[in-house]
Structure 1
Amino acid sequence: MSLLHDQRLRTVRWRDLSRLTFTEKVIENGITLPWLIASLTLAWFHLYLLAAPCSFLFFLTGLRVVHNGFHHTLGVSKTATWFTLFLNSMLMMTAMHAVKYNHLRHHKYCLQEEDVEGNCARMKPLVAVLYGPIFIYRLHAVALRDGGKAIRQGIRIELAAMVLFALAAFFFRLRFLEYHILAMLTGELFSGFFAVWTVHHDCDEHVFARTLSPRWKNFFTYNMFYHLEHHLFPGVPTIKLPELSTRIREKLPDLQVKEVF
């Protein structure tokens, strides 16, 4: 029996966790800014080796922001969420409305044939890494083919903005932006492996996603690997996932989990 059908899940309190305080909204919406500023500043001074880890952390926290945006859990309006996805499309060099379309289908058809995003979870790790460019292409192609009018329009706007951003950076020889664009494109090529394979590989119908139990590991990974908890209650913002995890374990003390690492 799938974990989703465990009746004890109905007793887990989660709706109060969907509400964010002003401070929590600031954190969830601005968590990328320190790393973006640090990476661009270091790149401005041609300190690319020092900029690289900051770029990585910007990419990681960027995934957190857009992921919350996909589920409208940033605590802001739908219009503000749209602009958040638009801005991060340029900054992260991927049309986030394309990712959103496939991610919501991933929740609906998790690890089934219709789950385009989750496809690489069934691959061997090296194959999942090499699959990266195809993964990104398929997310865009499928969303442009099957998405509704608003989704397709959003994707086209984001792709146009990304192209203009890149053309301006390389035409005017803005080295720090050239570095940033190349760093983000590199991150996107590995996103299928790190964002999907790591949290879904070797899962089954009962435990369909992995999680990360130690709090200290989650602290250093910005709570991005409470993935089982997220699939069970996608309406809970990332900042509240540690508390959600505690509540789930209290109601399901015999819960069998697979660790991310």
Structure 2
Amino acid sequence: MLRPNAAAAHLRLSPTQQWLELMRPWVLLAGYVTTASLGWWWVAVPLAVAVCLSGFVQTHDAMHQALGLSKQQNDRLLTLSGLLLLKSGHGLQVTHLRHHAHCLRADDPEGAPATWAFWRVVWQGPYHILMLRRESLRMAPHTRSIQLVETALTLLLLGVFVGLYYWWGSPVGLVYWGVAFVMSATLPIWAAYLPHQLAERNPAVRAAAATALFWTPVLSSFAFHHLHHHYPRVPTALLPRAAAELPPPPSHHH
């Protein structure tokens, strides 16, 4: 019997799909900057949310080296896409790979919110995100340098955002910061609690699976979360195809 990653080895992005997955968040970011600069906030704010969601998907695929890039290219992309979320991409990778290896166990800090009561996920979410950065430094001292560099770059970006407002009166950076903060503070809800609490037969999950092709990366990361845990090297965009072509994971698999 083939190991999961070997069974899914044929599911790789085509050159066109790879280009789309690599460019999506950056095209959306350009759209945000343009519309925000024009003061079209009713368009800009939803675009900022879309940037964060697509940046999350790209960072996630880079964590698993699922985008068909060389290791060096993947590491660079992990840094850049993490900055879209105002986070350390390599720090996120440390806790996420631990989550896959020790899913929902006591030593899985990323997955901890999935075991909490919902009210606790809501009020403790922002603190939990900061705690994960501390945990990533503790768990992977060999990547501490790049994590600290990425943290410094995040602080530099925040300084630029403040500078844009202070010297030029432009709130473009601060609004994006606010959106990214809200997305980050609620990430334990939509990226940990709900995917692990809702069974694959749940109507919401089934509806997301049925409509995943409308914006595959966002919906697929929710609808096929259980499948991703079993076939982690399959790009998020190809999870609907994986669901149709690959043996289903065990029912207890997260």
Scaled to the shorter chain, the TM-score interval is 0.7 to 0.9
Alignment pair present for 1:156 and 2:148: yes
Name 1:138's counterpart in structure 2. 131
The CA distance in 2 between the partners of 1:211 and 1:83, in whole Å, is 35
CA contact (8 A) 2:22 2:58 kept: yes
Bigger RCO of structures 1 and 2 (CA < 8 A, at least 6 apart): 1
Residue 216 of structure 1 is matched in structure 2 by: 211
1:23–1:127 CA distance, 2 compared to 1 (3 A): same
Which of 67, 91, 95 is the aligned partner of 1:102? 95
State the distance in 2 between where 1:13 and 1:83 align: 28
Q: Contact 1:89/1:95 (CA < 8 Å) preserved in 2? A: yes
Q: Is the helix fraction higher in 1 or 2?
A: 2
Tell me how large the CA RMSD over aligned residues is: 2.7
Relative to structure 1, the CA distance from residue 47 to residue 171 in structure 2 (aligned partners, 3 Å threshold; closer, same or farther) is same
Q: Deviations over 1:47-76 (max 9, x none)?
A: 223212111111111111000000001111
Q: Show structure 1 runs of 5+ residues with no match.
A: 1-6
Kindly provide the CA deviation profile for residues 9-65 of structure 1, in whole angstroms up to 9, marking residues without a partner as x: 86x941101x32211210221121332122222211222232121111111111110
**TM-score, length-normalised on structure 2?**
0.85
Distance 1:58 1:243 in 2: 24
3-state SS of 2:233 partner:
coil
- Equivalent of residue 180 in structure 1, options 172, 176, 179: 176
Q: Secondary structure at the match of 2:10?
A: helix
Q: Offset of 1:252 from its aligned partner?
A: 4.9
Secondary structure of 2:133's counterpart equals helix
Q: Which residue of 2 aligns with 1:247?
A: 245
In structure 1, the residue matched to 2:159 is 167
Aligned to 1:61: 54
Give runs of ≥4 in structure 1 deviating > 6 Å: 7-10
Please list the CA deviations of residues 170-212 of structure 1 after superposition, one character each: whole Å capped at 9, or x if unmatched.
1232421221122112211111111111111267xxx8xx993
Counterpart Cα distance in 1 of 2:219 and 2:26:
14
Which residue of 2 is the match for residue 30 of structure 1?
23
Distance 1:102 1:244 in 2: 25
Q: Percent identity?
A: 24
Aligned AA (2:119):
L
How many residues end up aligned between the 2 structures? 242
Cα separation, 2, equivalents of 1:26 and 1:224:
19
